[in-house]
Amino acid sequence: MLSNVAVTLACAAEMEEMKQAFNITIHAVSCYCHVYVTAVSIVTVVLVCAAEMEEMKQALEEQMKRNQEELEEMKKSYEERMKDSGTASAGQITADKKTQEERQVVPHFWNLNEDPSLTGMIVHFCREGTSKIGNKKASPAPQILLNGLSIQPQHAVVTNKKGAVTLKPESGAKLLVNGQVIKSEATLHHNDRVLFGSNHLYVFHHPQDEAKKAKEGKPVKEPTYDEAQEEIVKQSGLVKDGGNKSKEDLLLQEDLIELLPMVNEANAMSEELDKKVKYELALISPQARGLKEGRTEVMVKMKNLENGNEFLLDRNKFINRKYLMQEMYQNFMEGDKDWDVPKEKDPFWEPASTTDVQIGSVHVFLQSLAYQIELQENLAITDFKGNDQGHLNVEIMPCDTKGKDLPEDVYVDDPKELLGKPLNFKVKVVNARGLPGNMKKTYATFKFYVDDKATKTGAVPDTINPDYKFEKKCSYPSVTQGVSILTYPSKEPHQKKQVT
């Protein structure tokens, strides 16, 4: 009995030493790794024979050996990673240094970005000889690789012949130099702005040309992203070039510079996704929006190329749509089989059945009403570009308080004779002729510039020659209240009508 107790106590003491040694070993490894998990099993020993003690010692030794091997492997991996990282950093530094040295002597393109911190981060050299420009689908791979919207596999060719650099687009490739579309080979000069596709905007840098200009005392200023976009907008004919611009002109130009790249990008995505939709910028005057005065607004015209339907999107609506287009395009590029979405969620789709489309507008001058003379006009309906979209027949008839037409001999020699007197007249929207043929139904609205709310005729379906036969009596208790509709300068319309 005493012997058994002694063995038990001895075994317990050795077990405690073994547990401590095991824990110390694990802790040492853990401290080096900085991330560790320890598991301690609590074993109660009542009686252990000598053979079992030997097995436990061997197991502990094997565990300690494995821990040591893992520790050595971790040391080795860490040192190798540090060595590889150092080698990569040194290699990157060497490559960057070489690139900077080449930029001093070799003509090249450097990128322009809306974010100034990203400008100049991409460089493509135009080395001696011919370099092809294209996307990753090209075979063999091009010397200058550009990926993204509207970049073709074979997009352009740049040639450097003894320092003279030319750029030639391939068939169907979109290429702009200094805002102008390039269809044939063009010679590049220092600081030329080059747009490849829809959004790859670069500046051409020619070290020798730069040095020559500096020697001649000519200022050499690097173009900015905004300046390059402004140049593209001006070449598009959307804004007037020249100085002395009003505040409204500057605001309009800012909107155009912001939206034009987005419109180009939306068109490129539409083409690549085969959405059969085209976008273009539209300048909408205050008069075309039913206002007497105000600033011209930039909107985006969306045209369905399959059925010819056109819609006007305001700035905020288009920008929101554009981000949804980008998400769809990204899913497409990543191979997502569900990249396309139902029509009601498609940013490239606009429901014609629930969206009114303005065909155009006409302006009615009311000077004759100031003399109590009737007016009958067949007016051209023009869209926001000034293109004819048909004709609208309108009549303005002076009348009495009951709506009865005044006799022909009732007129005034001087409009001032009407001051302080009631003014009554009828507005008749008779019909429209020659409207576009893709409209399911049409109606006309009209209002005076002093009014806030427009009056709407009934809708007439399925015809390009609708008869509206609409009439409304307008009454003013005293001309002092309504005189402003009669006394606008003759160059301004007094009443606006829209055909929708």
| Residue 83 pLDDT level (bands cut at 50, 70, 90) | low
Phi and psi torsions of 102, nearest 5°: -65, -35
Rounded to the nearest 10 degrees, the angle between the axes of helix 50-103 and helix 2-33 is 0
Cβ proximity of 67 and 25 under 8 Å: yes
Q: Long-range CB contacts (< 8 A, 24+ apart) of 322-325?
A: 322/262, 322/265, 322/266, 322/347, 325/266, 325/269, 325/270
Q: Give the residue among 60, 72, 73 at the shortest CA–CA distance from 25.
A: 60
d(C-alpha 110, C-alpha 168), whole Å:
18
Task: With a cut of 70, say whether residue 148 has pLDDT above it.
Answer: yes
Percent of the chain with pLDDT over 90: 42
pLDDT confidence tier of residue 416, bands split at 50, 70 and 90: confident
Position with higher pLDDT, 392 vs 52 = 392
pLDDT above 50 for 316: yes
Domain with CATH 2.60.200.20 in the chain: 108-233
pLDDT tens, residue by residue, 441-498: 899 988 887 777 888 999 999 899 999 999 999 888 877 754 555 544 333 334 445 5
pLDDT at 75: 65
- Contacts of residue 336, Cβ cutoff 8 Å, sequence gap at least 6: none
Q: Which region among 27-36, 42-51, 401-410 has the lowest average model confidence (pLDDT)?
A: 27-36
- 341 exposure class (CB count in 10 Å sphere: 0-12, 13-18, 19+): middle
Run of H or E including 17: helix 2-33
- The model's confidence at residue 93, banded by pLDDT at 50, 70 and 90, is low
pLDDT (mean) for 415-439: 87
Note the Cα 204 to chain centre separation in Å.
25
Cα–Cα nearest to 273, from 339, 324, 318: 339
The reported pLDDT for the residue numbered 410 is 79
Class of the domain covering 108-233: mainly beta
Sign of torsion, CA 206 207 210 215?
negative
pLDDT of residue 328: 95
Look at the alpha carbons of 338, 343, 345, 347 in this order and tell me if their dihedral is positive or negative. Answer: positive
Q: Are 446 and 453 in contact (CB under 8 A)?
A: no
Give the burial class of 367: count Cβ atoms within 10 A of its Cβ; 0-12 exposed, 13-18 middle, 19 or more buried: middle
Given a cut of 90, is residue 401 above it in pLDDT?
A: no
240-249 pLDDT tens trace: 666 667 788 8
Q: Where in the chain is the domain with CATH 2.60.40?
A: 360-499
DSSP 87: H
For the ranges 58-67, 253-262, 361-370, 378-387, the maximum mean pLDDT occurs at 253-262
- Mean residue pLDDT of the chain comes to 81
Q: What are the tens digits of pLDDT across the range 101-110?
A: 888 999 999 9
- Three-state DSSP at 180 gives strand
Tokens of 280: 């273009």
For the chain, what is the largest distance between any 2 Cα atoms, rounded to a whole number of angstroms? 145
CB of 150 within 8 A of CB of 174?
A: yes
Residue 218, pLDDT score: 83
User: What is residue 304's three-state secondary structure?
Assistant: strand
- Asked if CATH classification 3.40.30 holds for the domain at 360-499, the reply, yes or no, is no
Position 47 confidence tier, pLDDT thresholds 50, 70, 90 = very low
How much is the pLDDT for 84? 61
Is 158:177 a contact under the CB 8 Å cutoff? no
DSSP 191-224: T-EEEETTTEEEEEE-HHHHHHHHHTT-------
Q: Which of 3-12, 173-182, 317-326 has the lowest mean pLDDT?
A: 3-12
